[in-house]
Structure 1
Amino acid sequence: MKNNVKKEDMLLYIVTDRSWLGESTLEEEVCAAIDGGATFLQIREKDMAHQDFLHEARNLKELARAAGIPYVINDEVEIALEVDADGVHIGQSDGAVAETRKKIGPNKILGVSAQTLEQALAAEKEGADYLGVGAVFSTSTKTDAKAVSFETLKSICSSVKIPVVAIGGISEENLLELSGSKVDGVAVISAVFAQPDTRAAAQKIRKLSEKMVKSND
């Protein structure tokens, strides 16, 4: 099976969170993040009605397509298929990787969360296109996220052939601590969407991510 994701797609992976919106719309904030250099978009909604989710997903899909960046839905496989998103991202408790791959077919992106080397290797074997590994730092966004050590992150990156993005508590202040881990980029929420200027925040994180990734060479 071909891989549907490139390593450079992981540089600045943004995950939506409407709790930070203020007076802006989600579309406006996502546009600002894309303008600032986002390379991948994941839409994550935990408490939205189905029809509202579909409407939002279609709008954000158009933004991602116009920018030429990959776009996936978190967890909701049926919505991802209904709106013809580029793919889906699932966690360890969201169903078997192989089963999800069968549902979405070979040409859609399948991202999988992993906290251990065993989970990472299994996900790759079962058809994941990329891995989201974390939480690499403590995070208020996902309070049940288990910590992943630098050593585990590095071991995963060295052991799989698919791209790996680090997630969890990543900020402008700590991002460069991931240097040397061989990770392909960072996934962020509050580091971009909770900041006063979303576009400027995205630009800063993108530059830091590029610097961090270059340290892997």
Structure 2
Amino acid sequence: MKDFRLYAITGENFHPGRGLAEVMEQAILGGADIIQFRDKHSGKEELLRKAKALRELTRRYDIPFIVNDHVELALEVDADGIHLGQGDLPLAEARRIVGSKIIGISTHAIEEALAAQEQGADYIGAGPVYATRTKLDVVAPVGLDYIREVSRRISIPFVAIGGIKLGNADEVIEAGATRLCAISEIVGSEDPAGACRAFIDRLERKERA
């Protein structure tokens, strides 16, 4: 898969009054280079409408488009990949269905990360690093020690996720993360592009150090 640095996930509850595609385009213009559509509430028709709009947007900017959970929806809109949690479809079954598309797996412990790597995940999410309220079924924070362990022991790409803000991004990067994911700090910002540029600046400062 194409490498990435800043992973943006949709969160429409953080930007009432502003359109989904509008906010995500601003994130892309600021440097987000992979987009995930996550929507736990909309009905089938609404999910399809939103996914099609984001698929068109990400194609226009030539960045990967990932759909959370909804494998059939990902196939219907020809998304680049899917992202699965620990309680979702098993990775082997997902691979059988989606073929060579990207598969990302959420992990909260090194055993889960190692299993995802062994089973053929293309990347993993490592977190939640900090407490987060972006979804209801969130697990307890895993802290920076998990990021350090993943950076030492996992060879596939991983992205740090969960409660990551501009104010704590530097310590996540110092722990070994070279890819960050943010939700509310990006889509909830009055200036999503500016927030993304600030995250990219922190990653680039570490690269130059």
Question: TM class by shorter-chain length?
Answer: over 0.9
Q: Where in structure 2 are the equivalents of 1:1-217 lying within 5 Å?
A: 4-6=1-3, 9=4, 11-105=5-99, 107-143=100-136, 144-212=138-206, 214=207
Amino acid at match of 2:109: T
Report the Cα offset of residue 139 of structure 1. Answer: 1.0
Amino acid at match of 1:108: K
Could you tell me which runs of 5 or more consecutive residues in structure 2 were left unpaired when the two chains were aligned: none
1:178-214 deviations in whole A, cap 9, x for unaligned? 13332221111011111111111121122123334x2
Amino acid at match of 1:42: Q
Larger mean CA deviation between 174-183 and 117-126 belongs to 174-183
Give the CA RMSD over aligned residues: 1.5
- Are the aligned partners of 1:90 and 1:111 in contact in 2 as well (CA < 8 Å)? yes
Distance 1:104 1:211 in 2: 37
Amino acid at match of 2:73: I
1:12-44 deviations in whole A, cap 9, x for unaligned? 100001102222110100111111111110000
Distance 1:102 1:186 in 2: 29
Could you tell me which runs of 5 or more consecutive residues in structure 1 were left unpaired when the two chains were aligned: none
Distance 1:103 1:157 in 2: 30
- Are the aligned partners of 1:5 and 1:109 in contact in 2 as well (CA < 8 Å)? no
Report the Cα offset of residue 136 of structure 1. Answer: 0.5
Question: Aligned residues: percent identity?
Answer: 37
- Are the aligned partners of 1:129 and 1:162 in contact in 2 as well (CA < 8 Å)? yes
TM-score (norm 2): 0.94
